[in-house]
Structures are given as structure tokens and as C-alpha cells.
Structure 1
Amino acid sequence: MSEHTETRPSRPQRTEVAQQGRPARVRQWTTRALGTDGHERHLVAFVLKSTIAATAAWAVSYYALDAESAAFAPFSAVLMLQVTVYQSVWHSLRYVAAVAAGVAVQLVFGFVLGAGLATFALVAVTAAVIGRWRRLGTEGAQVSTAAYFAFSTFVTAASGAERLGQLGEIIALVVLGCGIGVLVNLVVLPPLRYRSAEYGVQTLSHSLCDLISDMYPALRQGELDGERAAHWRDRASRLGPLVAQAQSSVHLARESSYYNPRRLLRRHAGHGTFHGYQAVIDALERVTYQIGSMTRSLTQCPMEDDGPEHAEFFRHYGDLLAALAHITNLFSSLDEDELEDQAPELCAAAGEAQEEHRRLAEYSDSLPLADPAQPYGILLAEATRLMEEAQYTCDVLQSAVDDARD
């Protein structure tokens, strides 16, 4: 007991360590952005592409074309930076259609009824109705936005010819911006592999592995504190968009394969087709939610040292998370051509994780699991559910490989 107390940092020391940990977390974030294809790298890529698209659109519209409403081009360009080039194309077509509809509404009512308040009200209600057309999708709101900007332009123009020219310029700039946005998305770090369900699994698993790999060393070494746990919880909450992205990648892969000539080349080259990615991503989604629940529980743990039992429990907990980090790392390198070899490796890793869970459960038998003031019971339950989901994910992959053989 005394040895354990002597080697553990005091509360002021732990505060100092936590403060010193902020630069370390910045370095970890940078390392993940450079070294792994997860959330951090996607954020950097989006910022880079947004900057390039907006700058290029502004340069063409303002300097080359000397347009009066030059901001429409960079605004439209940035909006086109969708998850995939495929989505960017369809997004841009709907966006241009919505803007053209809004401008057309203003064009008709403006020239027929003038620029009074009653005209604006009629333009507003008509644009709102058109914007509800389901074919425009999420771009329906742009009908009203374009109509309002067009009305403002219409009011300030001096003559009918100038009004017509400026309204036409708005549409031209939107088309220009959309074209530049799609081109940048295609040329600069094109996210074409997002069409692959395999890549969706890899990306989500990368981020899960990064988070768990940051958690288990701290738990093993008894360095859990409120700030660190809150940081983990925040990172876990940001995994949601990656889950949606992974789900979208499966849907998009299935949808776009009907128009993709590369499908024929893959068949000719002898590549198989793996249909289990949807089930794998569904299972990883549940793992993600369970990790979020676990981090919430860690933020509610008492940070005071309750003795060697406290440290030993979290050491076992860290061992389990280390085994789960290994599983997510294997999923992050999933390769369709190597699935038959990877599936047994994943099952073996799941077996090792089950053994760590068994050790944790056996040690926890001597702890006050039913005491609501202690974290052991709730954390053990979280670990059990997480282990079950991880095991199921490995089983799904193995089952899909077996089905492909048949």
C-alpha cells in the first residue's frame, strides 16, 4: 500500500501533468493527420480543398470576369466539396437548378409587377413552394436564397437591360463556382475510394483505433484524470460523422457500381465481391456508440486513489482496451484481396481480447460491483458490451468470407 502511494503523483502534480499534456495532444493530433487516414486527415484535406476552390473561384470571377457579384462563385465552389466526386456532380446539378429557379421567379414577377413590397412577398411564397420539390433534395432552400439575392440585385439595377444582365450573371457565377468545386474535388486529393465499402470500414476503424490507443496506456499507468477523460469523451462524440460516412460509402458503392466500367475490369482481373461490409459497418457503428458510453462513464469516475485495487482494476481494463485496439487496427487495414487470411487473424485477436475480458471479470469479482459510489460495476458492464460487439464484428467478417467461398 505504501509503495503504491509513494509512486503515484500528487494532485498538484497530476494537474501539472494534465496541463503539459495539451501540447502532447496537439502533437498526437498532427501525427494522426499525417500518419493515418482518419478524421484528422479528412479535416485537413477539406480545409485545403476549400481554400483552393474558393480562391480559384474568386480569382476567376473577380479578376478575370470583373463580376459585380463575384462572391457567388467561391460560395458555390465550397458547397460542392462533397464526400465523393459522384455526390459533388449531382449536388452541383441540383444546386444550379435551385438557383436558376429562384432567379427565374424573381425575373418573371419583377418585370411584370415591379419591385414593390407585394412583389417581394409573392416571390418569397413562390420560391418557398418550389423549394419543397423533393427532386431538389437538400438544395430546395437555395431557391428562396437565390430569389432574395436576385430581388436585391433587381432593385438596385438602373435599367431593365442591366437587371437582366446581373440576374444572368448570378446564374453564370453559380455555374462557374460549381464547376470549380467539382474540379478541385476531382483533382486535389480526390476521395474516390469513399465509394468503396472497404474504405469506409478502414476509415472508421482508424479513428476508433486512434482513440482506444490513447486510452489504454493512461489506464494502465493510473493516469486517469477529469480533463483527459473529458477529452476522450469529446473525441468519441466526433466519431458520429465517420459512422454516417461509412454507411454512405456502402450505399454509394452499391449505387455507383451500376455505372462504373471498372466493375468489368475487376471481374476480368478475378477480384471477388464481398457483400459483408454493410454488416461489418453496422457492427462497428455499435462499437462506436459503446466506446462513447464507456468514455462518459470514465468522466464520472472518482479520481481519488482508492488503493491498489483501484489501480489494478484499471490496469486490467487497459489490457482489455489494448486487445480491442489491436482488433480495430486489423480492421483499419482490411483488404478485399486478403480477407481469407485476415479473417482468421481477427478471430484470433478476438480470442485474446476475450481472455483479457475474462481476467478483468475474475479480478472484479472481489470488488464492490454493486456499490453505486464506485465505478467498477458500470465500467465492467460497459467492457462486457463492448467485447460482445467486437466479437460479433469479427464473427460477421468470418461468416461473410465463408459465404463467399460457397
Structure 2
Amino acid sequence: MTDVGRDTRRTAGGEGVNGGTGRQGRWRTALAQAVRAARPVDRVRREAAAVGQAVVAAWRGPGRERDLVVQSLKAAGAGLLAWAVAGVWLDDPMALMAPWVAVVLVQATVYSSVRQAGQQFGAICLGSLVASAAQAITDDNTGALALSLPLLMLLGNWARFGRQGVYAATTALFVLASGTPVSASAVGHRVGQAALGALIGIAVNAFVLPPIHLRDVRENLAALAREAGEVLHSIADDLRENEWDAQTAAGWAGEAARLQRRVDALTSARSWSQESLRLTYGPLRALHRTPPPAPPEDEDQRWTRVTGNIVALTRTLSVAADENRTPATPEGPVLGLYARLLKQIGDFCHVEADRLLGAAAEPHPRQAKDAGEAGDATEETEETMDELHRQLQQGLREHAGQGAAHASVLGALLLQAENLWAEIVPEPREQ
């Protein structure tokens, strides 16, 4: 049969006997195209929903969203004030420099505004001087740009300028685009405009609702505690159903890795919190506007250790689920007991998350119990934990009789659970 005949037969078969297959393929192609076309629409819809949620959150009460609105309006106000002073009051024809600097210097903290003001002011001075010198040498704006911009871009990478080094080159562009003749008074005028904008930006940021990032630490701590409880609940549910394998263990490891990223966010929030109190804490305390204090740094360390224990626990389960490794997974009722233990610990993580979001002076559950402020629920929970621990110890002895492979995994898991319990519900301090 010729190639033409084979092609004709194949075509006939596709359109005739197997015509349904051809139509099904076209339907699949059309469906895939529709899905691809819908993706940008879904993405826009999700973004619009996120914006709407942020607007609602900013309207309802204090939070990150409202802080962002306040800082944005402060930056706009600083720019308008600088323009009013330089352009309207002083009637400066080149008043652009002052509002530009003022807007940029309304930073997340007052300290960063002051620090970046010094860096930016140095970069602006450098850009003005180099651009003016290049204009004097070449007597041509294009030649001056060609001479000054490469040098200023290189000098802008100096570590002392931080992220403000690029303003050396942009200042040169402003200077040369203005067409003002080169003179010492013109250079001084531009530097003076930058100084005026810096003073206005710093003053607005420092005295008009100065940014204090104490709330972020509490929110990140509470989120870390709640997510730790969710990871423990997820592990407990899978262990209780006795339906887990290497893929399930890999999912647990991914959840534990997200906990580690939350720890990184907490570290960043703590750094911002400490910096936001610099140069602002005294005036705010005098005006009685200081927000409630953030939880102590001991809480950061405690939940960092909790995260480390959860990561170690998921790693042990991953090793036990690997068929190519020697350790064997625990079997029988002891696995259900261990799942109950993890669920109890996860419940306490959620209790701690609620406590962190509540009153700063609210006592720890176990400390409150010693002070006579906790109910029977806490006592029953601790009795349940003690009973689970006793039964697991008995199960460990039984597994030891089955060989070291079984006992080693259960012993490691039990040790990590005990470490978690000790961190999440510490012993009360003696008064």
C-alpha cells in the first residue's frame, strides 16, 4: 500500500470509525485553550479580591493595611508640603528637588529616614558637583551626560551610600536637564533644595503618626504558633488513619519548611520593631501614644525551638517511611497513641496563639493554674498527656522486644514529642 493510501485510510479511520476520537481531541484542545484564556482573568479577579480585602482590613481597624495607608498619605503630604514651601512660598522655579526628596524619605521607621537622609544627601551632593563639573568641561549637556553618568553609576555602588547611590546619577540628570548655567550658587541652590526636602520628610515621619512596628511581632508569633499546631494536627490525622507513605512524609516536610519561613519573617519583624523604637520611643511615651509592647524575645527563641523540633520530627518520619532505609515505622495501637499525643500538643499551640493575640499580661495556662486561675480543663489535659506518655513508654518497651529498628524510630519520635511539650507548656517559674 502506498503512503497516500495509508494516509487516506488513517484519515478515513479517524473521521469515520474513530471519528469520536477526533472530535474528542478537538474538544480537549478547545477546553485547554479556554483554560489558558481564563487564567489571566482569574489572576485579575484574585488580585482585585486581595485589594478589596486590604481596603476592608484598613477600614476595620489597626493592622498592616492601615499602616500602609498612613505611610502612603504621609509621603504624599510631605511632598505637598515641600512643594508649598519651595515652589509657592519661596517661589523657586526649580522646586522639584525638595518634594522629590521629601517623598522618598518617608520611610518605614524614623531611624531609617534619618539614616537614608544622610546617604541620599551625600549622593545628591556628589551628583550635583560631578554634573556641574562635566558641564563646565564640555559646555554641552549631551557631552556632560556622557562624561558624568558612567562615573556616577560606578560611584553609586559605594557601600556607604547603601541603596541611595542611584540618586547621584538621577540628580545629574535633573541638573543637566534644567539648563541652568554652571555656577557655585546654582550648585548650592540644588543642595539647599535637597536639604529642605530631607528636613520636611524626616519631620513629617517623626512627628505625624510615627511608625511603630510592635504589632507585627505579635502577629507573626501568633501565626507561627497557630501554623505549628496545624502541622501537628495534619501529622496526627494521617498517623491516626494509618495511611501515610514517603509522599505523605514529604508533604509534612514541606509544611515544616513553611514554618521555617515564618520564623524568618518573625526575625525580620523583630528587627523592624526594635528599629522603629529608635528616635521615637521617648516622644511617644511622653504623648502616651506608645502601642502595647511586643512579646519578649524569649518567645521568639521558644517558638524557634518548637519549629526545630517539628522539622526534626518530620525528618524522622521521612526516614521511617523510606523503604530503602533500615529504621522501621511503628505499628499497632502505639501509632494511634502517638497521633493523640501530637493532637494534644497541636491544641496547646492554638491556645498559645490565642494568648499571644490577647492581652499581653495574660498568664501562661500552666502558670495560671498554679495561681488558681485555670479551670479543670487544663488539669484534665495534663492528666491525659501523662497517661498517653505512660502508655507510649510501655509501647516503646514492647517495640524494643521486636528489634532495634522498631524501637529506634518510636524512641526518637517520643523524644521529639516530649521536647515539644516542654517548650509549648513550660514548667512554671518559682516566684
Deviation at 1:89, TM superposition (A): 1.8
Correspondences of 1:7-406 after superposition (within 5 Å): 46=64, 76=104, 80-81=107-108, 88-114=109-135, 115=144, 119-120=148-149, 123=152, 127=156, 131-132=159-160, 140-160=161-181, 191-194=213-216, 202-224=222-244, 225=248, 228-245=251-268, 248=271, 261=285, 277-302=296-321, 310=331, 312-332=333-353, 333-334=355-356, 335-339=359-363, 343-345=367-369, 352-367=384-399, 370-371=404-405, 377-378=408-409, 380-392=411-423, 394-395=425-426, 398-399=428-429, 402-403=430-431
Structure 1 pair 101/340, CA: closer, same or farther in 2 (3 Å)? Answer: same
Deviation at 1:113, TM superposition (A): 4.2
Deviation at 1:294, TM superposition (A): 2.3
Deviation at 1:103, TM superposition (A): 0.9
Could you tell me whether the CA contact under 8 Å between 2:98 and 2:193 is conserved in 1? no
Letter in 2 for 1:80: Q
Deviations 1:286-330 (A, max 9, x none): 1122212323444455388x9996464543332122121233233
**How many residue pairs align between the two structures?**
328
Deviations 1:178-220 (A, max 9, x none): 8898899869xx754457xx77754542343343334332332
Cα distance in 2 for residues equivalent to 1:245 and 1:351:
38
Deviation at 1:152, TM superposition (A): 4.1
Could you tell me whether the CA contact under 8 Å between 2:231 and 2:255 is conserved in 1? yes
Structure 1 pair 251/153, CA: closer, same or farther in 2 (3 Å)? Answer: closer
Cα distance in 2 for residues equivalent to 1:354 and 1:262:
50
Deviations 1:324-350 (A, max 9, x none): 123323322154444276514498556
Structure 1 pair 68/280, CA: closer, same or farther in 2 (3 Å)? Answer: closer
Letter in 2 for 1:360: L
Cα distance in 1 for residues equivalent to 2:289 and 2:191:
46
Cα distance in 2 for residues equivalent to 1:76 and 1:289:
40
Cα distance in 2 for residues equivalent to 1:144 and 1:157:
21
Deviation at 1:244, TM superposition (A): 1.4
Structure 1 pair 167/181, CA: closer, same or farther in 2 (3 Å)? Answer: same
Structure 1 pair 202/157, CA: closer, same or farther in 2 (3 Å)? Answer: same
Deviation at 1:102, TM superposition (A): 0.9
Larger Rg: 2
Deviates more, 1:163-172 or 1:92-101: 163-172
Could you tell me whether the CA contact under 8 Å between 1:128 and 1:143 is conserved in 2? no
Letter in 2 for 1:235: R
Structure 1 pair 284/194, CA: closer, same or farther in 2 (3 Å)? Answer: same
Structure 1 pair 249/169, CA: closer, same or farther in 2 (3 Å)? Answer: closer
Could you tell me whether the CA contact under 8 Å between 1:209 and 1:328 is conserved in 2? yes
Cα distance in 1 for residues equivalent to 2:124 and 2:276:
35
Letter in 1 for 2:392: L
Deviation at 1:118, TM superposition (A): 6.3
Structure 1 pair 242/210, CA: closer, same or farther in 2 (3 Å)? Answer: farther
Structure 1 pair 53/146, CA: closer, same or farther in 2 (3 Å)? Answer: same
Cα distance in 2 for residues equivalent to 1:341 and 1:243:
23
Structure scoring higher RCO (CA < 8 A, sep ≥ 6) equals 1
Structure 1 pair 153/201, CA: closer, same or farther in 2 (3 Å)? Answer: same
Cα distance in 1 for residues equivalent to 2:119 and 2:235:
47
Could you tell me whether the CA contact under 8 Å between 1:127 and 1:147 is conserved in 2? yes
Cα distance in 2 for residues equivalent to 1:261 and 1:328:
33
Structure 1, unaligned stretches of length 5 or more? Answer: 1-29, 35-44, 82-87, 133-139
Could you tell me whether the CA contact under 8 Å between 1:297 and 1:379 is conserved in 2? no
Q: Please give the secondary structure, in 1, of the residue aligned with 2:321.
A: coil
Structure 1 pair 338/219, CA: closer, same or farther in 2 (3 Å)? Answer: same
Cα distance in 1 for residues equivalent to 2:65 and 2:101:
17
Could you tell me whether the CA contact under 8 Å between 2:313 and 2:416 is conserved in 1? no
